């Protein structure tokens, strides 16, 4: 991920321009979204580690922001492939750099994670979850809430085993989510590692249940390693559509980077952070020439935004 110091700070300043913040230099309405960090434990045979320093670079960039964001959210795939404890032993200290700086850190699972070693490395997640046994959180985004779901369909063999690639939503989370949505007092977003069509609720796309709720503001996910925005509708009886956004990976493959999420009184804005990159399926090796389409994708995605308007 190539980025000049001048270019980053110019872009970051533009992202937060005109915003008031407290005396602690932290903006309560600013969040950074990371996903698919895929951190590898050192010494596990066959596991590459090129993505580890790319997360370090993103954390450096976040810590350099002025004002600093109030919080950071990681949308799953914290571990590289099979959710080893060693993977979390590498990821937890990196993310702790953010919390040590006063930035609240929340994580959830992806299909490459396992819950037991993740909870062991991030014990606060076990304390805060409203659904016992699941890596679920309610994140205060400033003027809205994020209901962060655990969409992992976990292999019962646990650490070191492969999970199903597709996501799921267990009955406990489904009941909790529906109850929260019914009682919501302000706008809320729903997020998970998997896209909404892989997180069924009552046997249907989760958005079929939520899209008529006037407090529901949008859906954000990872998993696909691509920066894209789309919209969803359930039939043709309403003019309202649901905005959906997919986050980049911090350093594994695909769109490389992170995103800013800013809330306002009547809306929220998700924007790709300056300095994004692209590579597939891994970074260039010595002497390799960069394919021109990689730069085309970087240039096409640069400055991308997704707007979410609160309905009520």
Q: pLDDT > 90: what percent of the chain?
A: 90
Instruction: Give the pLDDT confidence score for residue 100 in this predicted structure.
Output: 97
In the chain, where do the E strands start and end? 26-34, 68-74, 104-107, 137-140, 145-148, 188-192, 200-201, 204-205, 216-221, 228-232, 242-246, 254-256, 259-263, 267-272, 277-279, 305-309
- Checking if the pLDDT of 12 tops 60, the result is no
Nearest alpha-carbon partner for 125 in 106, 139, 112: 106
Q: Are strands 242-246 and 216-221 parallel, antiparallel or unpaired?
A: parallel
Partners of 200 in the β-ladder? 205
Please, what is the average pLDDT of the chain? Answer: 93
**Stretch 281-301: mean pLDDT:** 97
85 versus 25: the higher-pLDDT residue is 85
Angle at 47 between CA 228 and CA 116, to 5 degrees: 80
Instruction: Give the pLDDT confidence score for residue 23 in this predicted structure.
Output: 59
Q: What is the rounded CA–CA span in Å between residue 199 and residue 107?
A: 18
SS3 content of the chain, % helix, strand, coil (to 5): 25, 25, 50
User: What tokens does 176 get?
Assistant: 């909790």
- Checking if the pLDDT of 3 tops 90, the result is no
Instruction: Give the pLDDT confidence score for residue 165 in this predicted structure.
Output: 98
**Stretch 172-201: mean pLDDT:** 97
Largest separation between any pair of C-alpha atoms in the chain: 58
Q: Select the CATH number that applies to the domain covering 5-309 from these four: 3.40.50.300, 3.60.21.10, 1.10.287.540, 3.40.309.10.
A: 3.60.21.10
CA quadruple 132, 134, 135, 139: dihedral sign: negative
The per-residue pLDDT for range 81-127, each reduced to its tens digit, is 999 999 999 999 999 999 999 999 999 999 999 999 999 999 999 99
Instruction: Give the pLDDT confidence score for residue 22 in this predicted structure.
Output: 58
- Checking if the pLDDT of 14 tops 80, the result is no
pTM for the whole thing?
0.93
Phi and psi of 243, rounded to 5°?
-85, 140
Instruction: Give the pLDDT confidence score for residue 68 in this predicted structure.
Output: 97
Q: Are strands 216-221 and 188-192 parallel, antiparallel or unpaired?
A: parallel
């Amino acid at each position: 991920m190539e980025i000049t110091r001048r270019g980053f700070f110019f872009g970051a300043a533009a992202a937060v321009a005109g915003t008031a913040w407290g005396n602690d230099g932290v903006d309560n309405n600013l969040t950074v979204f990371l996903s698919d960090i895929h951190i590898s434990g050192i010494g596990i045979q066959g596991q590459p580690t090129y993505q580890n320093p790319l997360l370090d670079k993103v954390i450096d960039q976040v810590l350099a922001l002025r004002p600093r964001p109030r919080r950071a959210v990681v949308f799953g795939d914290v571990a590289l492939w099979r959710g080893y404890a060693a993977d979390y032993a590498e990821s937890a200290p990196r993310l702790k750099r953010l919390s040590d700086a006063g930035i609240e850190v929340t994580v959830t699972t992806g299909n490459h994670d396992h819950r037991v070693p993740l909870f062991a490395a991030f014990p606060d997640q076990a304390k805060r979850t409203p659904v016992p046994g699941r890596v679920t959180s309610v994140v205060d985004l400033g003027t809205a809430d994020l209901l962060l779901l655990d969409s992992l369909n976990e292999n019962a063999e646990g650490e070191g085993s492969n999970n199903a690639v597709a996501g799921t939503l267990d009955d406990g989370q489904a009941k909790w989510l529906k109850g929260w949505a019914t009682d919501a007092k302000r706008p809320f977003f729903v997020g998970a590692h998997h896209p909404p069509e892989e997180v069924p609720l009552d046997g249907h796309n989760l958005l079929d249940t939520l899209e008529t709720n006037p407090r529901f503001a949008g859906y954000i996910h990872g998993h696909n390693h691509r920066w894209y925005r789309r919209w969803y509708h359930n039939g043709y009886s309403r003019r309202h559509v649901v905005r959906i956004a997919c986050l980049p990976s911090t350093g594994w493959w695909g769109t490389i980077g992170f995103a800013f999420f800013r809330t306002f009184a009547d809306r929220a804005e998700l924007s790709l952070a300056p300095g994004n990159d692209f590579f597939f399926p891994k970074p260039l090796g010595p002497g390799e020439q960069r394919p021109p389409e990689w730069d085309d994708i970087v240039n096409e995605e640069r400055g991308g935004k997704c707007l979410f308007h609160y309905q009520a």
